[in-house]
């Protein structure tokens, strides 16, 4: 999809940006205020398009469309098989438009085009097929209660789901949220991240082409404190799902509690340990630890951002990790072979550079990178710190950028304690050839996912979510369905009274 390469400067994408309005009740409409905001190309900071800026009134309009589609049908009143077929048709359309969608995703977000086109967009189709498969397999139980009663449970949709998503995997996060909500028969109002509004609008248009009835899925572009907060605190939203920072997670949980006590699922930040044991094949461990941190420009909530390395292999590991980071190909994400594009925006770019400065000031050893790459856009050189101590900010706070912090450990009890000594608990990585070590670490780590000798393996069926301040609830897999279902107990006497 990427077309002509300019002699100088960024590759010009060949896809037109056709959808920039809000999608409410099956129609593209302007914001009630008439306002727009720019969404920018992180390679240059230049404006890609001006997008309608949703606010309270637009959220109200979207929620009332979703309410109507839920209460009067047709969505929850259609058969599950009919809903499933629309979702499958949508997945086909995603596949058909794979390259256009991937182009918009890379343009808006800065991630390597190949990653968007070969991994993420195909995964979006996979997720919708997975949930289409669940739609007609959701059912309750017959319960063997004491006494002369027939007792059954009905699993019903909750109603209008409000969903707020981040910018690091714009369309994948859309899929993780919208897939289970619709499969269970709910209707949706989703607010995309202000940095990356384009692909959700495109996808939602395709969903309507696939036969989705109006009002079932409404997409609002806009900012957090306005549109996002209006959704979280709306009295007519029955369930809220949020992915973003822990700080904002606290805000939306409070808004939900103060309004109508809607149940909330939260996917929040992380500071995941990646533990390299003494028996590890060092070359492989270096490569996997590198991937665990640098994938997606380091913009992953589950990034392996505390690389704990056993003292016996520490020096060799540092040398090789540094070599690998220096070799990482940074550049225009539309260019073939590029491993790392720009960070998403100027705010993230500045925040990451500030974290890097704090690492240097705190006395960690800068092994590689440490500064911007080039002179334009939001590129940062792959950065590696050694001699990192647990109490340093770079080892405690989420950096969300291409900054690897390497820490030394001596024995397993110590590393378990240190790995768990964080407010987060999203994921952990263990690299070892010893089964016993793997088992011991796996049981001891407080994390929603433990990847052994692998990292960032995301399948539609694998549940994902956090312990501690990394969140509430699980997305994907069978576990995600319970986020979007009510359980109704129905009790009938066996004999008429």
**Catalytic (active-site) positions:** 267
Instruction: In angstroms, give the least distance from the CB of 222 to ligand ADP.
Output: 7
Choice from 164, 198, 286, 355 touching ligand ADP (CB under 6 A): 164
Task: Establish if 254 lies at the interface with ligand ADP (CB under 6 A).
Answer: no
Instruction: In angstroms, give the least distance from the CB of 228 to ligand ADP.
Output: 2
Task: Establish if 157 lies at the interface with ligand ADP (CB under 6 A).
Answer: no
Q: How many residues bind ligand ADP (CB under 6 A)?
A: 17
Instruction: In angstroms, give the least distance from the CB of 173 to ligand ADP.
Output: 9
CB 426 within 8 A of CB 269: yes
d(CA 393, CA 390): 8
Task: Establish if 427 lies at the interface with ligand ADP (CB under 6 A).
Answer: no
CA angle, 345 then 349 then 352, to 5° = 140
CB 102 within 8 A of CB 192: no
CA distances, 410 to each of 81, 308, 403, 494 (Å): 56, 10, 23, 65
Tracing tokens 């890379």 back to the chain, one arrives at 106
Q: DSSP assignment of 371-396, as one string?
A: SBSSSSTT-B--EEEES--TTSHHHH
Choice from 51, 86, 193, 264 touching ligand ADP (CB under 6 A): 193
Binding span for ligand ADP by CB under 6 A among 74-82, 162-170, 196-204, 442-450? 162-170
CB-nearer residue toward ligand ADP: 252 or 428: 252
Name the token pair of 151.
């007792």
CB-nearer residue toward ligand ADP: 228 or 270: 228
Binding span for ligand ADP by CB under 6 A among 158-166, 258-266, 357-365, 488-496? 158-166
CA distances, 142 to each of 80, 89, 229 (Å): 20, 33, 40
SS3 of 263, please?
A: coil
Among positions 210-249, residues that touch ligand ADP (CB under 6 A) are: 223-225, 228-229, 232, 244-245, 248
Task: Establish if 251 lies at the interface with ligand ADP (CB under 6 A).
Answer: yes
Phi and psi angles of residue 98, each rounded to the nearest 5 degrees, phi first: -45, -50
Instruction: In angstroms, give the least distance from the CB of 251 to ligand ADP.
Output: 5
CB-nearer residue toward ligand ADP: 38 or 225: 225
Q: DSSP assignment of 352-372, as one string?
A: HHHHHHHHHHTT-EEEE--SB
Q: Which residues are near ligand ADP by CB under 6 A?
A: 164-166, 191, 193-194, 223-225, 228-229, 232, 244-245, 248, 251-252
């Amino acid at each position: 999809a990427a077309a002509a390469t300019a002699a100088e400067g960024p590759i010009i994408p060949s896809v037109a940006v056709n959808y920039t309005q809000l999608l409410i009740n099956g129609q593209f409409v302007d914001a009630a205020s008439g306002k727009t905001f720019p969404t920018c190309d992180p390679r240059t900071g230049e404006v890609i398009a001006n997008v309608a800026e949703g606010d309270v009134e637009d959220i109200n309009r979207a929620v009332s469309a979703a309410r109507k589609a839920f209460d009067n049908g047709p969505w929850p009143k259609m058969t599950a098989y009919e809903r499933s077929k629309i979702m499958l048709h949508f997945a086909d359309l995603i596949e058909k438009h794979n390259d256009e969608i991937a182009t918009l995703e890379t343009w808006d977000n800065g991630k390597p085009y190949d990653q968007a086109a070969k991994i993420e967009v195909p995964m979006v189709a996979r997720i919708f097929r997975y949930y289409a498969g669940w739609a007609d397999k959701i059912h309750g139980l017959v319960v063997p209660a004491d006494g002369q009663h027939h007792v059954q449970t009905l699993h019903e949709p909750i109603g209008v789901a409000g969903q707020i998503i981040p910018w690091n995997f714009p369309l994948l996060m859309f899929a993780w949220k919208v897939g289970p909500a619709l499969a269970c028969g709910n209707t949706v109002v989703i607010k995309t991240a202000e940095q990356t509004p384009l692909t959700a609008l495109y996808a939602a248009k395709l969903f309507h082409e696939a036969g989705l009835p109006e009002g079932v899925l409404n997409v609002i572009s806009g900012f957090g404190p306005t549109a996002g907060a209006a959704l979280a605190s709306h009295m007519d939203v029955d369930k809220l799902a949020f992915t973003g920072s822990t700080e904002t997670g606290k805000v939306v949980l409070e808004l939900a509690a103060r309004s109508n006590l809607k149940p909330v699922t939260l996917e929040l930040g992380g500071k995941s340990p990646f533990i390299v044991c003494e028996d590890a094949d060092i070359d492989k461990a270096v490569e996997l630890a590198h991937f665990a941190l640098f994938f997606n420009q380091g913009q992953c909530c589950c990034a392996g951002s505390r690389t704990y390395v056993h003292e016996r292999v520490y020096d060799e590991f540092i040398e090789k990790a540094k070599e690998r980071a220096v070799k990482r190909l940074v550049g225009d994400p539309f260019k073939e072979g590029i491993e790392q594009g720009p960070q998403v925006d100027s705010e993230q770019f500045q925040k990451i550079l500030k974290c890097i400065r704090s690492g240097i000031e705190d006395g960690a050893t800068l092994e590689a990178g440490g500064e911007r790459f080039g002179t334009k856009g939001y590129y940062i050189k792959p950065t590696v710190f050694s001699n990192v101590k647990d109490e340093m900010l770079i080892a405690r706070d989420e950096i969300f950028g291409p900054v690897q912090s390497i820490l030394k450990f001596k024995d397993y009890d110590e590393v378990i304690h240190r790995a768990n000594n964080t407010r987060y608990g999203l994921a952990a990585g263990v690299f070892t050839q010893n089964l016993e070590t793997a088992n011991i670490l796996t049981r001891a780590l407080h994390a929603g996912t433990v990847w052994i000798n692998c990292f960032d393996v995301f399948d539609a069926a694998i549940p994902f979510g956090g312990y501690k301040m990394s969140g509430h609830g699980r997305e994907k897999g069978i576990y995600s369905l319970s986020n979007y279902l009510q359980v109704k107990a129905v009790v009938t006497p066996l004999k008429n009274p």
